[in-house]
Structure formats: C-alpha cells, structure tokens
Amino acid sequence: MWKKWISALLAVCFLLSPVCLRAQRVPLETEAPFELEAASVLLMDAGTGTVILEKNADEKRPVASVTKLMTILLVLEALDEGKITLEQEVTVSKAAAGMGGSQALLDAGGIYPLSELLKSLIIASANDSAVALAELLMGSEENFAAAMNRRAQELGLNDTHYVNASGLPAEGQYTTAEIAAPDVADAEAQFLEAFEAVKASYVHFEQEGLGHPTYFEYSGIWMDEIVHKGGRVTQLVNTNRLIRFYEGADGVKTGSTNEAKYCVSATAKRGDERFLAVVLGAPTGAKRFDLAGKLLNYAFENYYTKTFLVKGQVIDKQIPVSGALSRSISASALCDLSVLVKRGEEKNWTMEFNLPKCVRAPQRKGEVIGQAIALYCGERVTDVPIVLCEEIPKLGIPAIIREIFFRWL
C-alpha cells in the first residue's frame, strides 16, 4: 500500500488494484474559486485518484526538495525487500556530510542508525542524510540518480528526470505537478498502471508510498532530534508547517530554491477522506502553505467519497446459468466501486450493471463476467469488474451425482 502512495506522490505520491482503478482524468472544476498564486497546482482525491482542479499540471518545472520523494521511495522499497534494515548502521562520507542547504549536520565518518537518517530526511528534508542513504544503496549519488530515473520510467513518469538525491539545483532535473503528488491504493495494486503517468503518481502515494508505516511514523512529527556521538544534538523541525497548523495534515514534502521558488506536496486525512494538494513555484514560503491549505479546505468542504460497492460484495442479481445443474449463480465486485461526489449533486450519481443474460458452464470462480458502472447524469465515469462467486462445473455424470447427493442431504 505504501508504494502506491509515494509512487503516487511521485505521482502525487492513494487502495485499488490496477484493473479496478479508473480515475477521472479530466479535472472536475474548470476554474478555482480563489486565485492560484503559483506556477503549477494540482488538487486530487487520494482514494479515487480523481483530479478536482489543476493549473499547468503538465508543465515541466524544477521542484527542489520534492525530488526527495523518489529518494524516500527507493529507501522504503529497499527496506521492504530486505536489502537494508532500520537498525543498520551507516557510515557518513565526507561528501554527504558536506552537503549544503537543509541538513541534519551529520559528522563526516560518523556512524548512525539508518532509522535516524531516514527520520531526518522525511522530517527535516536533510540533504546530508539523503546523500548518505543514496551512497549506502548504490555506492554513489550518481548511481543512485540513475536508479531514480529507472524507477521513474517504470512508474511511467516520463516528464521527470533526476540528477541527484537531494533536489539541490542541478541542470536537467525537473518534474511536473502531477508527478509531485503521491498515490493511494491497496498493497497489491501497481501504483501507476491505471493512471496517466502524472495523475497516477499521486494516487500511488497512499497506495504505495504514503501508506508505508515507517513513512507515517516520521512524516507527522513536528519536532524531533538526532543525538550525535559525543552528545551533540541537532534539532529537527518539519519543513511542512501544515503538519502543525492544519488539521489532519500528515505529509508530504516541501522544497525551495531560487529557480524552483517555493513548493509543497501536502496531504491531509479527516475521517475516511484524504486529499492531496501540490503547489509548485509559489512566490513565497508562506503563500505555498496558504494556497495548499485553501485547496485542502475546498476539497474537504465540497467533496466526499461515495462507495456503491465494496470489494467482495455480492450483487443483488442472480446470473442465469446454462449447461449445469444450477440454474443461477451469484456474482460479486472484484474491488470497490467508489466515486468522488460534490456535495449537493448526489442525485446525479447512479449505478448500473452490464451483465450477460446467461453464462454457460464451465466457468471458473473469479471469472470476470461483467461490470458495475458508476454514472454521472447518465454518463459512464468509472467501472469495476463483476466476477463469479463460485465455480460452475461442466455438466457430466459425476457432477450430476454429486449435485443430487448434496440436494438429498
């Protein structure tokens, strides 16, 4: 689940399988109710991947430390694959310790638990920790950047290119607002397969990235510290002030350089609803947080998720069967059928089924036989597969005897 979140964060770094994910790719809102004072903006529902509004979301832009989303993703994937552990000790190189910008002030040659480096990377956007982790995984930051680009291609993020692990200014490093957003879907889902590269990225965050327990353990912390050898202490303050001042905020990443200006990829959850707001190229640090807060407020106040069917729910229709003793069979939803609904427009949403008049034996349990379709004003918006709840054996003497026996009992 966590991979989809970060992948989606990367892809707007939120819990569905690829065959079930049918996000609305056209923004629901053509105009924002307030000024979008930033170069690029994206507001998305994490659960369905539905884009509420956007501005220049496909425009390639430098994103500063938002780059670290991919760094975090690769570290978390390595943890899941058992290549590294949180308890593992990491020796910090002179190059890593000498990084500029935001830092954990690591000692060159110092030895730190991997968990401390990851904590400082997520909370304080520490460049030295980013490089130390990159060197641990790939031997050098250059090799790590190559791995970042390979992973970006696997996720379909064709408008993203990485040069380093930290996001510090570098020629040729860029992304889009759609890709700066994390994703949200279930653990088995492949983060970006069902989306356009960009919009798919964000939903993937909760789906594959934000959902990782280690990520959330750190991302919602406002202040912490690292204790160095000899007792020296570095205070870690979350670069995302929404964590402290916005109800439900629990991620994801900030960034700022002279070229990128001020950026934030922010996610917040209230009850069962989670939304993601991406702001790139805001004129000031305060304005990026102000705009992100306005975007999230607009989403929470005006939208909610309506679920027509949940995964495994048996539909209220029996499917006629031919070529078998059973005259009908039950069917269920392969995954959730959910849509993002604007408050006051509930009556415009309906659901219908596209099912065969009859299925002929033999059929396997789990065989896809139709779809459940969500419609807005009569127009198809999304659908999920409907599958058979049980096997339909081919009619034969053994099957007939077995059926008669069980009916007699």
Q: How far is CA 87 from CA 8, 115, 116, 117, in A?
A: 27, 6, 9, 11
- Within the chain, which residue ranges are assigned CATH 3.40.710.10? 2-302
- Residue 63 tokens read as 């994103």
- Residue 297 tokens read as 């407020």
Of 248, 244, 286, 245, residue with least CA distance to 264: 286
DSSP conformation letters of 187-243: TTS-TTTTS-HHHHHHHHIIIIITT-HHHHHHHT-SEEEEEPTTS-EEEEE-S-THH
Of the candidates 7, 17, 40, 65, the residue annotated as catalytic is 65
pLDDT of residue 49: 83
pLDDT of residue 205: 41
**For residue 362, is the peptide bond before it cis, meaning its omega torsion is within 30 degrees of 0?**
yes
Of 276, 235, 277, residue with least CA distance to 47: 276
* 389 burial level (CB within 10 Å; 0-12, 13-18, 19+): middle
Of 8, 116, 6, residue with least CA distance to 71: 6
Of the candidates 7, 17, 102, 125, the residue annotated as catalytic is 125
pLDDT of residue 303: 96
68 catalytic per annotation:
yes
* 404 burial level (CB within 10 Å; 0-12, 13-18, 19+): exposed
CB within 8 Å of 27: residues ≥ 6 apart: 51, 52, 53, 54
- Residue 332 tokens read as 């269920």
Q: What is the CATH number of domain 2-302?
A: 3.40.710.10
CB within 8 Å of 154: residues ≥ 6 apart: none
CA 120 to CA 115: how far, in whole Å? 9
CA 59 to CA 42: how far, in whole Å? 11
CB atoms within 10 A of CB 227: 11
CA 186 to CA 204: how far, in whole Å? 9
Of the candidates 68, 199, 253, 261, the residue annotated as catalytic is 68
- Within the chain, which residue ranges are assigned CATH 2.60.410.10? 310-408
347 catalytic per annotation:
no
CA 211 to CA 270: how far, in whole Å? 15
Q: How far is CA 237 from CA 115, 256, 400, in A?
A: 16, 16, 71
Of 279, 252, 178, 221, residue with least CA distance to 6: 252
303-309/319-322 β-pairing: unpaired
pLDDT of residue 59: 64
201 catalytic per annotation:
no
pLDDT of residue 239: 85
Per-residue pLDDT of the chain (409 residues; tens, 9 = 90+): 444 445 555 544 322 223 343 445 557 888 889 999 998 898 999 888 898 998 887 665 554 445 777 888 899 889 888 999 999 999 999 999 999 888 999 999 999 999 999 999 989 889 999 999 999 999 999 999 999 999 888 877 776 778 888 877 654 444 444 444 443 333 223 222 322 333 333 444 444 444 456 777 788 889 999 999 999 999 999 988 999 999 999 877 777 767 778 888 888 999 999 998 988 889 999 999 999 999 999 999 999 999 999 999 999 999 999 888 788 999 999 999 999 999 999 999 999 999 999 999 999 999 999 999 999 999 999 999 999 999 988 766 665 666 666 556 6
pLDDT of residue 13: 36
Identify the helix (H) or strand (E) that includes residue 268.
strand 261-270
DSSP conformation letters of 282-300: ESSHHHHHHHHHHHHHHHH
pLDDT of residue 273: 94
By the 8 A CB rule, do 73 and 154 touch?
no
- Residue 296 tokens read as 């999230």
Helix and strand element counts for the chain (H, E)? 11, 18
Superfamily of domain 310-408: D-Ala-D-Ala carboxypeptidase, C-terminal domain (2.60.410.10)
By the 8 A CB rule, do 230 and 24 touch?
no
Of 300, 21, 270, 253, residue with least CA distance to 124: 253
